[in-house]
Structure formats: structure tokens, C-alpha cells
Amino acid sequence: GNSVTQMEGPVTLSEEAFLTINCTYTATGYPSLFWYVQYPGEGLQLLLKATKADDKGSNKGFEATYRKETTSFHLEKGSVQVSDSAVYFCALSPPGNTGFQKLVFGTGTRLLVSP
Amino acid sequence: NAGVTQTPKFRILKIGQSMTLQCTQDMNHNYMYWYRQDPGMGLKLIYYSVGAGITDKGEVPNGYNVSRSTTEDFPLRLELAAPSQTSVYFCASSSHRERGFFGPGTRLTVL
């Protein structure tokens, strides 16, 4: 079946450090891939997405590249800020999915950035 | 524009009690969803709705009921609370496929 595996957290970094949060997936065919972010006290928000192999999604300085050969969609940011402290969810949408309800989420990775 | 709102934020129930988790969206979205997130697990879909009067089961519907009488509201009902329903519950809505807007969640504990 379809599944998403994320690295366990929390990930603790100092401000301006480089961030990588690993995400790998299992799916038949070519799913779409997403990163959602949940800031404290708020709901999940779509951060970025990629719909085909080698696509790079980017937003707010975050990037993730769809790697079919390694079935990965790792989230990266060159210089994190305290305001990036949040929980990050990797998700996939199975091939042929026609609705949001089919999204498969990872467990979430908490990022803590200190000044 | 409030987006998706959920009430209550926190609740403690005793085994066998019932309650309704409220969810309202003001974006005129057709699609609405209820997810639960257990500790250390990903979000799992409980129920969803594609429009007023239309609901369908997700991955983990047992022990829950929903209704969708208006576009704005999508309440989730727990009839006989069980400890296994201790979780964080997220409501979401969408119009565009694969881009959900989430509420802040309700943390429910059943003792």
C-alpha cells in the first residue's frame, strides 16, 4: 500500500543552521508529494508540492526535490529562523487521486530553532 | 476571514459519554474532512463530505458519525466514547483538489 516515512524528531537547530528533514515514500506508480507545516496553535498549511519526478517544490526558502530513484522528498532550508519552529508533515497523493481525501500523511517531525 | 474553526480546543470525556466536535469553514468549500492523529502516527481520515447532504467513510470511521446539513458546518459525533478515541482531531476543507485548509485541532482525552 501507500505509506510515508519521516525522520523522528525533534530536530533541534540553532538559528541560521542548515535544515534537512528526511521523507521517503512507498507507492505504486507516480504519486504527488507534499510538505505541510503546522505552527503552534494553528492548523496544517500546505508548504510546497511536487507532482512528478525531478520536480522541485519551493516556498518561503524551503525546497524539496521529488527523487523517484530513491523514493524520497527531503525538505531542506539553507538558513533556519526561530519562526520556522513548527511540526512538518510529509504527505503523498496516490496516482490517479481525484480528491484531497486520499492524502497519506507521515507522522510529522517537530523542528525547534533556538536563537 | 476565519478559515476553518474547531471547537472545543480541549476536552476530557469519561468512557461511555458522548460529544460533538464542531467544525465550521467560511470559504464556501465543497469538500470537508475529519482526521485524527494518534501519538507518533500520521493523520488518518475518519469521514469526509463532498457537499451538503453527502458524506462518506474514510479509513477509520468506526465509533463516529457525521452530518453535513450546510456547506459551512461538518460536526463529528462520538456516541460512546472509548479510550481508543483519545487523539487529536483535525477538521479540514478544500475546494481545489489536494490543497486542504486545516483547523487548529481538538485534543480529546477519554478516561
Least confident of A37-41, A58-62, B105-109: A37-41
The answer, for B101 touching chain A at a CB cutoff of 8 Å, is yes
Task: State how far the Cα of A20 lies from the Cα of A1, in Å rounded to an integer.
Answer: 26
Give the alpha-carbon dihedral of A10, A14, A16, A22, to 10 degrees.
-20
CA atoms within 13 A on the CB side of A4: 30
Provide mean pLDDT across the span A10-37: 94
Residues of chain A that touch chain B, judged by Cβ-Cβ distance less than 8 Å: 4, 32, 34, 36, 38, 41-46, 49, 89, 93, 97-101, 103-108
Q: Cβ contact (<8 Å) for A43 and B45? A: no
Q: What percent of chain B has pLDDT over 70?
A: 96
Which of B42, B98, B105 is the closest to A43 by Cβ? B105
Task: State how far the Cα of A5 lies from the Cα of B60, in Å rounded to an integer.
Answer: 20
Residue A93 has a pLDDT of: 87
Provide mean pLDDT across the span B25-54: 90
The answer, for B75 touching chain A at a CB cutoff of 8 Å, is no
**Tens digit of pLDDT for each residue in B42-79?**
889 999 998 999 999 998 999 999 999 999 999 999 99
pLDDT band at B100 (very low <50, low <70, confident <90, very high): confident
pLDDT band at B96 (very low <50, low <70, confident <90, very high): low
The answer, for B43 touching chain A at a CB cutoff of 8 Å, is yes
Residue A77 has a pLDDT of: 98
Which of A43, A104, A108 is the closest to B102 by Cβ? A43
Residue B1 has a pLDDT of: 64
Residue A30 has a pLDDT of: 87
Instruction: Report DSSP letters for A89-105, one per residue.
Output: EEEEE-TT--SGGG-EE
Q: Cβ contact (<8 Å) for A41 and B100? A: no
Q: Cβ contact (<8 Å) for B90 and A34? A: no
**Tens digit of pLDDT for each residue in B7-20?**
999 999 999 999 99
Q: Cβ contact (<8 Å) for A49 and B100? A: no
3-class DSSP state of A48: strand
> Which sign, positive or negative, has the C-alpha torsion B83, B72, B44, A110?
negative
Which of A44, A99, A107 is the closest to B102 by Cβ? A44
Q: Cβ contact (<8 Å) for A100 and B33? A: yes
For chain A, the average pLDDT equals 92
Residue A13 has a pLDDT of: 97
Instruction: Report DSSP letters for B4-66, one per residue.
Output: EEEE-SEEEE-TT--EEEEEEESS--SEEEEEEE-TTS-EEEEEEEEETTEEEE-S--TTEEE
Please answer whether residues B68 and B55 qualify as being in contact, where contact means their C-beta atoms are separated by less than 8 angstroms. yes
